Chain A
Amino acid sequence: MQFMLLFSRQGKLRLQKWYVPLSDKEKKKITRELVQTVLARKPKMCSFLEWRDLKVVYKRYASLYFCCAIEHQDNELITLEIIHRYVELLDKYFGSVCELDIIFNFEKAYFILDEFLLGGEPQETSKKTVLKAIEQADLLQENVDFQMRLFAGVMVPNMVSESSGLFQN
């Protein structure tokens, strides 16, 4: 896999992971182009498209698009399930995950991804094992701080869709 992007229906980038060396400028260009292309596609269309010399595999979960660019010999369907497994991991960790979880805990979303995929290839596909690793890391904190994570009161109205669980539809 060359890179993975998570973006919202409004085209806001929520997570980006690059497995090939690119300049910031190139990254921005690719992101802009790809977000536009994917958002323009209709719901029933197929999840794969040829883009430059890569294959793009994407899937929408609630308000978020998960989008991976893979190489020619890579398998589209199994990439679709890589996306799904990642969503499952997020869901299990955050407890019915929504876009807001990923916005406010972006660092966690990155950590979970690193446990699951490394260098663009699956490192550990067992859900239990990945979550155990993250859980252990969380327990390593000496200063256990029992502060809340998200505080519902701060949410503004336009977040309805962002707070809907990714598995809702």
Chain B
Amino acid sequence: MPAVSKGDGMRGLAVFISDIRNCKSKEAEIKRINKELANIRSKFKGDKALDGYSKKKYVCKLLFIFLLGHDIDFGHMEAVNLLSSNKYTEKQIGYLFISVLVNSNSELIRLINNAIKNDLSSRNPTFMCLALHCIANVGSREMAEAFASEIPRILVAGDTMDSVKQSAALCLLRLYKTSPDLVLMGEWTSRVVHLLNDQHMGVVTAAISLITCLSQKNPDEFKTCVSLAVSRLSRIVSSASTDLQDYTYYFVPAPWLSCKLLRLLQCYPPPEDGAVKGRLVECLETILNKAQEPPKSKKVQHSNAKNAILFEAISLIIHYDSEPNLLVRACNQLGQFLQHRETNLRYLALESMCTLASSEFSHEAVKTHIETVINALKTERDVSVRQRAADLLYAMCDRSNAKQIVAEMLSYLETADYSIREEMVLKVAILAEKYAVDYSWYVDTILNLIRIAGDYVSEEVWYRVIQIVINRDDVQGYAAKTVFEALQAPACHENMVKVGGYILGEFGNLIAGDPRSSPLVQFNLLHSKFHLCSVPTRALLLSAYIKFINLFPETKATIQEVLRCDSQIRNSDVELQQRAVEYLKLSSIASTDVLATVLEEMPPFPERESSILAKLKKKKGPGAVSVPDLEDGKREGGELNGGGERGPDSAAMSASNASTPSPSADLLGMRSAAPMSAAPTSAGSLLVDVFSEAGPAAPSAAVNDDGFLRFVCKNNGVLFENQLLQIGIKSEYRQNLGRMYLFYGNKTSVQFASFTTTVSCPGELQSHILSILRLNVQTKPVEPVVEGGAQIQQVLNIECLTDFSEAPLLNIKFRYGGALQNLSLKLPVTINKFFQPTEMTSHDFFQRWKQLSQPQQEAQKIFKANHSMDTEVLKAKLLGLGTALLDDVDPNPENYVCAGVIQTKGQQVGCLLRLEPNGQAQMYRLTLRCSKDSVSLRLCELLAQQF
């Protein structure tokens, strides 16, 4: 390398850098920089025109100052001037400055784009590359607008130099990433795929990054790349280590390209062509074989490059999840790495095994490494490796090893790093619930969890244990006994007090026979913790006390005494004071019968997805919590009922039905305890024809239909929520009739004034759904007002006259703090709500299927899975749809078949449904045949977004 290349003589720059480095303090540095900035500014502003060299030097100094972390607000124009210099180094510095300090000044952008345009058309490959590098480095929308159509042309032109092609490919990739809408697919795309065949390895390396990214977004358009990639890979894998000359890296042929090829293949399902697939399997086997060969070099670069390919190959094997032989070999290979002396390999092996654990073919093989993984959790010195070990234990957990794994995780938790404790707690809670055979073990585990890591036990965890105890009467006595014992500890965590208060309030009677835990002892124990607790816990304890009065009349006097004392009844906290006052009054005036009714044991919680799992998903991002999904747990764990969003605290509060909900309470949760029969009997007389006065929905409110699709397969839940308002829905349907309860909750402490709601049915639906009835809002003669924290209810009666596809719109208007709020929502009334399930035999099904053979009667869609493909989840959704799920009809047990009749006033529409999941490809095919073609279409449309 010639000495000249090391610096091209910007002596002034070197001196400046040295000066900066010699500065003894930050102040001195700033002073020196300001002096330099002043100098440069005067030079740029001076009358004397600067020569190219000086301009370059000063621009370079500015760049250096910027990279030190100081702001630069001038010099852009000089840098742009350098772009049009015909001296390479000046141009180069100009481009570097622009790349690092992009300015959105539109005048400048125009000049920059002009300079780039000139260089691109210069036919000088070095200049073209510089221009392309600049576009790739800046990647702004303005540049995409200017060059997105030009670059593909350069990329595929026959006479483009290889180096320019390489830059063009990656430049296009960058533009595609920032502005995909501006990069239009076209004739060039097929030619890009063929760059995989290019003789120049550098061109292939650059092109494959582009092709991979484009394939992810447009798989069909690029699917020819699969066979090309396989043959390229095969050539590399089988080449001798010297064949590829400079593309061989520490005796490994083309490691970067190999990884990219394997990565590209992961965008697609296994090749359908037998020959291509055979060749690919051969490649994968060769890669696995090579891992067993002695290394060709002792250098870490050799083993890293080799293993990079190996891990990518294993990812592909896991992605296919169809070759048991390869999966088990991959697992064995990773098993070896688990004990490797390189920390990096242990880390990656743990990470990669996590995904292997979820494959049915390799789950057992992964499990054999349990001792090694537990050991890693205990002994690894690096927390990030321990984290991976904990993840893997979670992933490999099943019924057979749950007790061991949960015990190990619990003991690790005692010393675990703070950064991962919360996640560990969630994982232990999920595993304990999922694999609980006897629920006393579950209760023990969760109480241990609270004891060991109480601070990290989130609300979801303790809500959940209470939901499960409430729903399972065989564990209630044990839970009461255990929690009573746990509360004896001198220092016990507040979360323990919450669980204790709740459980003893409900089930304290089950252990009251023992004199050591007599009612009064229980009460005194709870009350001894009272003064140490925060307000929400105290509130919960007060509810437990009133429940005690009902359970144990002998404690009434003591508890009334406590409620009556000033610290309760005059508590400065409104919530506590209100509870004390109300409970005291309730206990003194209500008869035993009334008390027993009001304070009855909590009803079982409705079964929902575990809120803990939802929390873990949120923490780790969707997809990260791959393995034990809870639906699976329900299947294995038997009847595990549990409510989700409804916190026990709000549930406990329904004991004091009249009191205002605390701000933390889930509004819907509270109302779900409200009886369904609340629909007033006078409903009929209030029937109002909304169409006469509703008019179209206010144009100012954009229709919000986020919530809409979530209700296709379910009837209850939260339809909408923002900062101000929560809208919950409960609905029931019978035949062609439906009733929907809307709950409007004011989440603020300020009242909503002029609260009005209107329901309108757009277009065709107007004649189809007859009567929509509004209640509360309409009947009040005064201005409707929703007080802060309060909730109002509205009932809609729905009748389906004939089939429909548009949903009714709900428009809500109110004033909040003077500002008019206007909101439009799609009401989740869909055609499938009027389904009656129809059971039928396989024979009948196929007979009817054939009868519905006119092409219009069938609607079909093939789509990618958006949600879990787990069997239980799918079944639940299909049942939620309203049809009958027919077993033993489809010859392929993987498929689902359903039948039902849609009831409208005028007619009945028979519907048959078939859903074919393809787990490997993560795709579905959905087919519907109905006696009315508009119904087939609508159902197909609705359902394609549910799976």
Contacts and interface: CB of A to CB of B under 8 A. Distances in A.
B206 A122 contact: yes
A133 interface: yes
Given A118-B206, A147-B9, A78 B305 contact: yes
A53 B624 CA distance: 11
A26 interface: no
B22 A156 contact: yes
B347 A119 contact: no
Contact of A93 (B1, B69, B384, B385): B1
B205 A143 contact: no
Interface residues of B, number: 78
B429 to A, nearest CB: 22
Given A73-B263, A75-B263, A104-B17, A121 B206 contact: yes
Contact of A81 (B6, B126, B308, B312): B308
Given A75-B308, A78-B305, A119-B173, A125 B133 contact: no
B89 A140 contact: yes
B2 interface: yes
B205 A123 contact: yes
Given A140-B89, A143-B53, A128 B246 contact: yes
Contacts of B385: 46
B63 interface: yes
Contacts of A82: 256
A77 B304 contact: yes
B14 interface: yes
B18 A154 contact: yes
A44 B343 CA distance: 8
A78 to B, nearest CB: 4
Nearest to A48: B347
Nearest to A121: B209
Contact of A138 (B4, B178, B387): B4
Nearest to A134: B5
A118 B168 CA distance: 10
Contact of B621 (A53, A84, A144): A53
A95 B4 CA distance: 13
Contacts of B256: 78, 81-82, 122, 125
A119 B344 contact: no
Given A45-B384, A78-B256, A121 B304 contact: no
Contact of A151 (B14, B171, B301): B14
B296 interface: no
Nearest to B258: A78
A78 B22 CA distance: 38
A126 B60 contact: no
B531 interface: no
Given A49-B384, A85-B249, A119-B171, A21 B5 contact: no
A98 B544 CA distance: 70
Contacts of B87: 141-143
B793 interface: no
B646 interface: no
A119 to B, nearest CB: 4
Nearest to B53: A143
Contacts of A129: 202, 246
Interface string A87-111: 0000011110000010111111011
Interface in B59-87: 60, 63-64, 67, 69, 87
A111 B96 CA distance: 8
A148 B63 CA distance: 21
Interface in B93-107: 93, 96
A13 interface: yes
Residue among A75, A134, A146 having the largest count of chain B Cβ atoms under 10 Å: A75
B128 interface: no
A47 interface: yes
Nearest to A147: B9
B92 A137 contact: yes
Contact of A118 (B5, B17, B171, B343): B171
A108 B305 CA distance: 27
Contacts of B312: 75, 78
B136 A118 contact: yes
A51 B126 CA distance: 38
Interface string B169-195: 011011001100000000000000000
Contacts of A92: 1
Contact of A48 (B14, B173, B384, B621): B384
A97 to B, nearest CB: 10
A33 interface: no
Given A46-B343, A104-B14, A76 B348 contact: yes
A82 to B, nearest CB: 8
Interface string B199-213: 001100110010000
A138 B22 CA distance: 30
A78 B255 contact: yes
Given A46-B346, A126-B202, A135-B5, A156 B174 contact: no
Contacts of A75: 259, 263, 308, 311-312
Contacts of A125: 201-202, 205, 247, 249, 254, 256-257
Contact of B308 (A13, A46, A77): A77
Contacts of A128: 246
Contacts of B254: 125
Contacts of A45: 343, 381-382, 384
Contacts of B9: 145-147
Nearest to B206: A123
Given A78-B308, A93-B5, A19 B88 contact: no
A167 B15 CA distance: 27
B8 interface: yes
B402 to A, nearest CB: 26
Nearest to B20: A103
A149 interface: yes
Contacts of A140: 88-89, 126
Contact of A19 (B133, B174, B255, B347): B174
Contacts of A114: 133, 137
Nearest 3 interchain pairs by C-beta: A145-B9, A149-B6, A77-B308
Given A75-B311, A124-B206, 13 more contacts: A16-B67, A19-B174, A28-B69, A46-B344, A46-B347, A73-B263, A80-B344, A103-B17, A104-B14, A121-B209, A123-B202, A135-B5, A149-B6
Interface of B: 1-9, 11, 14-15, 17-18, 21-22, 53, 60, 63-64, 67, 69, 87-89, 92-93, 96, 126, 129, 132-133, 136-137, 139-140, 163, 166-167, 170-171, 173-174, 177-178, 201-202, 205-206, 209, 246-247, 249, 254-257, 259, 263, 266, 301, 304-305, 307-308, 311-312, 343-344, 346-348, 381-382, 384-385, 387, 621
6 contacts: A47-B343, A75-B263, A76-B308, A77-B311, A123-B202, A154-B14
